[in-house]
Amino acid sequence: MEKLKDIKGFLQQVSDAFAAVLDVELAIIDNNLEVIAGTGWYKKEVGVVYNEDCTTDRVIQSWVDSHILIEDTKQSHYCEQCDYSDKCTVVAFAMRPIFHNGEKIGTVSLLALNEDQKGILLDEFDKKLNFLNNVTSFIVTTLNEKRMRGRVTTLANQFETVINSVHEGIIALDARGDIININGSARKILSLNGDRTGKHISSVFPDFDPLLHFEEDPGSDFYEKEMTLDIDGQRELKIFCSITPIYEGEEIKGSVISFRKGEEIRKLASKLIGEEKKGTLDAIKGTSNELIEIKNRMRRVCNTDSTIFIQGETGTGKSLFAKAIHEESHRKGKPFVTVNCAAIPDSLLESELFGYDEGAFTGAKKGGKPGKFELAHEGTIFLDEIGDMPLSFQVDLLQVIETRQIERVGGVSTKEVDVRIIAATNQDLERLIEEGLFREDLFYRLNVIPFYIPPLRQRKEDINLLMHFFLDMYSTQLGKNISDFQEGTRRIFLEYPWPGNIRELENAIEYAVNIETGPEISLKSLPERLLNFRQGEEVGTIPTLDALEREAISKALQRFGFSTEGKEKAAATLGISRATLYRKLKEIQVS
């Protein structure tokens, strides 16, 4: 009896064609647990044989005869015992067994590798399940075919129920460029009347030969093209096409054109890099328990007007969280004004925050100028790097927080301001208070609802997700076709401590995408500091006592917090007095 591996090449061609219309990944695995065909990341896995007790093996060996849907792999009993659970990047999937002559011969799956794909997979899942059923039936039908003649025509006929269930316009062509199938979405988008089957593609897309590109660039998998069409002489329609060839050996036997309206593809591209959710908590990437808990707690306070205080190391995304709180509050749509307290000279701080009236000082603009608090009226003001605010100005800020009134420099009247205040710092304000560099009363006014953003090295499960997010983003921006990381590169990214946190990780990947010339990020494309880290590790560098002490203190503070009570608990756990802890914090500069 024919098995999936017997038609491996054909199934990969089918997968490539599906890749033109899917926004999630597809994988076909046989009952020997070998990856037979796939799209995206799984295309590189073709030929890999998975170990027993993987999810596919359990589906094949179990009673499952229809499908399983795993909405969250981190919570699924199917995944918790899988040998690949610690390195698997799949966040959700739907899997259906393939039956042939009463025997399970493999599975076909739709897989989401990130939160955007997860949303696509779960949205209108009944259509995705119908898609899986049709694909399974198609595979079984193909297995029963004694010969593989007329593959393009057979492919188009079998695709008919599939392509009519998707939103994209789909047109299947033979080797001459004649239309052999066209789905309902294509007819609707292009306002087509009558049957176009058998007609050349130029009858739909004038002066367009989809196969010309592949003649000039043999062996390429697909290409994209943007076109502007004249619809009935009444309107212009911009569409974005993806053209995928169907190969038999090295000979092109046809092609599949998928397309969407230009505005739709722009929305899709924006969604891919998070622009559609930009500024919200959902746009902040991460699946670690720590990050999920922080976002859940933030959602509970978004719609209050209480002051929020965010602590965290440089590069952990404090400003992103501040913006997200604003965007999910009732003040959304009103101003969000950022003030970097460390970037404004002391002499200009008062006029920048409170504004000035005409004639207040030499060079003052005619009519005066509103300050940041006025500009943020009815919205949110974000006081970043609040720990760097001069002590002399802190009493003025405290008064504004207490009265919600400001007075411009050179002014004689006060103005009411309705603002929500969010403050942030990478410094330990309680230590600054003890050193006389920060007012205690101002600290308590700011520290109403505190949040601590843990550094990236303490939530390593987020690193892999962020790696691929930034890789996709910069590959798209820079026009590169880079889809993954080599194993050695991935290991460095996961082991490097990231002192600059997410900002440093993003910069490293932007650098690597610029430098890399291949399809995967290799070691030679990494920034020098990452390569030096690996070299230092390989020669067996022994950490200094200061480094060990710093790590122990840092871990204790992460566990118990930076409050006075937290520091007391940390000191007790470390076996030192609170005074010694404060001295150590100052000496080794733990923040």
Q: Which DSSP letter does residue 66 get?
A: S
Q: Which residues pair with 406 in a beta bridge?
A: 415
Identify the domain boundary among 228, 247, 269: 269
What phi and psi values does residue 25 have, to the nearest 5 degrees?
A: -95, 155
pLDDT tens for the chain, 591 residues long, are: 457 888 888 888 888 877 767 788 999 999 888 999 998 888 888 988 888 778 888 888 887 778 889 898 888 877 777 777 777 888 999 999 998 888 888 999 999 999 888 898 898 888 888 888 888 888 888 777 645 544 545 555 565 666 666 678 888 888 888 998 888 888 888 888 878 888 888 888 887 777 777 777 776 667 777 788 877 666 778 787 888 888 887 788 888 888 887 666 554 544 444 444 456 888 888 878 888 899 999 999 999 999 999 999 989 989 999 999 999 999 998 999 999 998 888 888 888 899 888 777 776 677 788 889 999 999 999 999 999 999 989 999 999 999 999 988 888 788 899 999 999 999 999 899 999 999 999 999 999 999 999 999 888 888 888 888 899 888 888 888 888 899 889 889 988 899 899 999 999 999 999 999 999 999 999 998 888 876 544 433 445 556 656 777 877 777 777 777 778 777 777 767 777 777 777 766 655
Query: Could you tell me if 140 and 197 lie in one domain?
Result: no
Query: Could you tell me if 54 and 187 lie in one domain?
Result: no
The CATH number that applies at residue 52 is: 3.30.450.40
Query: Could you tell me if 396 and 334 lie in one domain?
Result: yes
DSSP string, 124-174: THHHHHHHHHHHHHHHHHHHH-S--TTHHHHHHHHHHHHHTTSSSEEEEEE
Identify the domain boundary among 94, 114, 144: 144
Query: Could you tell me if 288 and 436 lie in one domain?
Result: yes
Residue 156 within any structural domain of the chain? no
Identify the domain boundary among 248, 269, 290: 269
Number of domains in the chain: 5
Residue 105 within any structural domain of the chain? yes
Q: Which DSSP letter does residue 331 get?
A: T
The CATH number that applies at residue 397 is: 3.40.50.300
Query: Could you tell me if 292 and 439 lie in one domain?
Result: yes
CB of 445 within 8 A of CB of 401? yes
pLDDT score, position 163? 61
Cα angle value 371/373/379 (rounded, 5°): 135
Neighbours of 416 (CB within 10 A): 9
Query: Could you tell me if 87 and 67 lie in one domain?
Result: yes
Domain interval for residue 176: 164-269
Residue 486 within any structural domain of the chain? yes
CB of 225 within 8 A of CB of 255? no
Query: Could you tell me if 244 and 176 lie in one domain?
Result: yes
Residue 157 within any structural domain of the chain? no
CB of 585 within 8 A of CB of 548? no
Q: Which DSSP letter does residue 50 get?
A: P
Query: Could you tell me if 65 and 91 lie in one domain?
Result: yes
Residue 538 within any structural domain of the chain? no
pLDDT score, position 263? 62
Residue 411 within any structural domain of the chain? yes
Cα angle value 555/450/506 (rounded, 5°): 65
Residue 153 within any structural domain of the chain? no
DSSP string, 427-492: S-HHHHHHTTSS-HHHHHHHTTEEEEE--GGG-THHHHHHHHHHHHHHHHHTT----EE-HHHHHH
pLDDT score, position 539? 33
Alpha-carbon gap, residue 54 to 50, rounded angstroms: 7
Residue 573 within any structural domain of the chain? yes
Query: Could you tell me if 477 and 490 lie in one domain?
Result: yes
pLDDT score, position 326? 94
Query: Could you tell me if 138 and 96 lie in one domain?
Result: yes
The CATH number that applies at residue 467 is: 1.10.8.60
CB of 136 within 8 A of CB of 237? no
Q: Which DSSP letter does residue 286 get?
A: -
Return the H-helix or E-strand segment holding 340. strand 336-340
Instruction: Give CA torsion, residues 435, 437, 441, 447, to 10 deg.
Output: -90
Query: Could you tell me if 45 and 61 lie in one domain?
Result: yes
Query: Could you tell me if 441 and 308 lie in one domain?
Result: yes
* Residues whose CB falls within 8 Å of the CB of residue 376, separated by 6 or more in sequence, listed in order: 335, 336, 337, 417, 419
The CATH number that applies at residue 191 is: 3.30.450.20
